[in-house]
Amino acid sequence: MTTEIKPKAKIFIVDDMPGPRDAARKTFEGLGCEVAETESAELAEEMLASGLRPDCIILDLKLPGMSGGRFLDVIRRRWEPLAERVVLWSSNIQSEVTSYMKEAYKLNELNQPTSAPTPAGMWKVGGENTSTLGEMLVYIVGNLLTKHNVPISPQFAAKVQKAFQDLVSPFGIDDPHP
């Protein structure tokens, strides 16, 4: 009798704050994912250089040393296919997005952007409604993995569907993965 071993989605969490990093790790491990984590962009770069190939990177915008925005630029240059598998997050999203946009958008002589970053998703995790925000992170990551044909556990798929029903469908948006 042969037992089929199903591959696990590989999630890489880069966040200097232990609380949000641990919560995300526990959430995705509980959904059947393999999780790697680190607290800095510099260590994350070393891990990728050493051969780590995640299916999704959850990247904090505000990191000590190299910022998440700068690290996303490094990912684009060194591991281009991974750039579209990055989900940016932050516990202080408004100021972080403003800072990231100043770094990421290169302006031409007419003060118009010459290129725009295209991370897979961005969401605030933390603050007053962490349950809903955590659900949204699961929804974003689940859809990103599905888009890239990465197998996810039935439990993960059910959480993505529930998050869609609770958080997205009330706005009249059709499910992209019925």
> Which of residues 6 and 10 earns the better pLDDT score?
10
Cβ atoms of 38 and 14 closer than 8 Å: yes
Section 9-15 average pLDDT:
95
In this predicted structure, the answer to whether residue 113 has a pLDDT above a threshold of 50 is no
Calculated CA dihedral for residues 66, 67, 72, 73, nearest 10 degrees: -60
Collect contacts of 38-42 with beta carbons under 8 A, ≥24 apart: 38/13, 38/14, 39/14, 39/15, 39/63, 40/14, 40/16, 40/64, 40/65, 40/66, 41/14, 41/65, 41/66, 41/67, 41/68, 41/70, 41/71, 41/74, 42/66
Residue 175: the pLDDT is: 63
Section 54-63 average pLDDT:
92
Section 135-149 average pLDDT:
84
Q: How confident is the model at residue 6 (pLDDT cuts 50, 70, 90)?
A: low
In this predicted structure, the answer to whether residue 75 has a pLDDT above a threshold of 60 is yes
Question: Which residues, 6+ apart, have CB-to-CB distance to 121 below 8 Å?
Answer: 87, 88, 140, 141, 144
Q: How confident is the model at residue 65 (pLDDT cuts 50, 70, 90)?
A: very high
Residue 174: the pLDDT is: 65
> Which of residues 118 and 52 earns the better pLDDT score?
52
Task: Report the relative pairing of strands 113-115 and 106-107 from DSSP bridges.
Answer: antiparallel
CATH class of domain segment(s) 10-171: alpha beta
Alpha-carbon distance of 147 to 153, in angstroms, equals 15
Q: How confident is the model at residue 88 (pLDDT cuts 50, 70, 90)?
A: confident
Which of 128, 125, 124, 107 lies closest to 116 in space, CA to CA? 107
